[in-house]
Structure 1
Amino acid sequence: MTAGGSTSREAARLRAAARRGWWRTLLRWFGVNATDRRLEAAAVRQEQGSLGEQQTAALLARLPAGWTVFHDLAVPGRRFNLDHVLIPPSGAGMVVLDSKKWRRTWETTLVRGRVHCGPQDRHQQIEAFAGYVSGTAAALGVPAGMLLPVIVVHGSPVAGGRLDVAVPEWERTVHVLAADRLVDVLAGMPGGRGPVQPAAVALAARVRQVLPQYGSAA
């Protein structure tokens, strides 16, 4: 599945829900459409998320040879999807990558240890993502330390190009990167260049075995 597929489908579902049913048509006729507006706003957020995932996929195509890249994976027993899962040529762990598309006129910064985009506190999303990564490690049966949680932000400039965010509740550090830093940071990590090692092949096989495409039959 291509990047952003599940979020695009969810946006279409929300828009269909906003237009379905005789009672919604009647409410719109009377000018009472708060539910429709909420559904439309949710659909827009999903579409922005899908666009961010597609932009990330285009960047990941520039990684050095030897990287294995998965998009839009499910974690069995969990109600979330993984935007991107990456395995470097060395096979020394994997990167779980989440795409965000935030307002371009607001800067993404740390305020008293919490991630903000402009005036909005977005730290809950960071904490949730750390939890997703921990759940993914448990599903794969590997130590949590093998998984590197990274969020790439499109649109909003990231202060300094990179934020290393402590999430004590999950005992994880989440790395928040500007989109233009993503490929260089990944390629420059230990094991990010070189021939594909057996550990990488085995780890990729484990991902294929355990993490199905999101929305596919288990």
Structure 2
Amino acid sequence: MSAAGGSTSREAARLHAQARRGWWRTVLRWCGINANDRRLEAAAIRQEQGSLGEQQTAALLRRLPAGWTVFHDLAVPGRRFNLDHVLIPPSGTGVIVLDSKKWRRSYQGRPCPTTLVHGRVHCGPQDRHQQIVNFAGYVSGTAAVLGVPAGMLMPVIVVHGSPVAGGGRLDVRVPEWERTVHVLSADRLVSTLAGMPGGRGPVQPAAAALTARVRQTLPQYGSAA
């Protein structure tokens, strides 16, 4: 099993290398006039932050009760996205698709809480709702590839850094998903998952079957087809 954050870490390294490649780019960067390289470096930093968030989530998931199956950094065949984490509870009643976000705790001296503003997710003053919508689409696409009803998948976003309003949990409705997308603070993640129906107890045959289906259908991201 690959480590959490592996694909985002590799993408960050690629972007850094692309920004720094070539003698003329080095001269322009030294002069401070290469805007494209600055954009590449900024994108690399975002990827690095994303990788750090995935690693922090992986560390939290190791605290789940016995019986949980956890996958990191999976590809979805035929789709242009990867999944940060996929979890199967001991009951086998469904699949949790978990996305890690590393958002600002503060910006320019002001706190950046994660809140709902007119039904849209914001981090401080920034509207981040499109990320929620995109993620709902990814989960829907994953259900189709797995060949299971969409209702069997539970989309969860865990936020590191930015404190999440509502006691650390927001339930967000998006048109692209038939239920809610759950947005959790990092400190609520393990207790929420372990406390869900079927989150504790012996591993049921349904869990083993779902685990086998995920292994057979969703390869490690970046592995050979």
**Same fold by TM-score, threshold 0.5 exceeded?**
yes
2:188 maps to which residue?
A: 181
Q: Count how many residue pairs are aligned between Structure 1 and Structure 2.
A: 218
Indicate yes or no: 2:129 matched with 1:127: no
Q: Deviations over 1:55-75 (max 9, x none)?
A: 000000000000000000000
Indicate yes or no: 2:142 matched with 1:141: no
Q: Deviations over 1:34-61 (max 9, x none)?
A: 1111011001000000000000000000
What TM-score, normalized by structure 1, do the two folds share? 0.98
CA contact (8 A) 2:61 2:190 kept: yes
Structure 2 gaps of 5+ residues are 107-111
Indicate yes or no: 2:51 matched with 1:45: no
Moved over 3 A (4+): none
Structure 1 gaps of 5+ residues are none
Instruction: Measure, in 2, the Cα distance between the counterparts of 1:63 and 1:216.
Output: 27
SS in 1 for 2:116: strand
Q: Deviations over 1:162-184 (max 9, x none)?
A: 00000013334100000000000
Moved more, 164-173 or 18-27: 18-27
2:109 maps to which residue?
A: none
1:170 maps to which residue?
A: 177
Alignment of 1:43-82 (within 5 A): 43-82=44-83
CA contact (8 A) 1:130 1:172 kept: no
What TM-score, normalized by structure 2, do the two folds share? 0.95
2:162 maps to which residue?
A: 156
CA contact (8 A) 2:137 2:176 kept: no
Tell me the amino acid that sits aligned with residue 159 of structure 1.
A
CA contact (8 A) 2:95 2:153 kept: yes
Q: How far off its partner does 1:25 sit? A: 2.7
1:193 maps to which residue?
A: 200
Instruction: Measure, in 2, the Cα distance between the counterparts of 1:65 and 1:86.
Output: 13
Percent of matched pairs sharing the same residue: 87
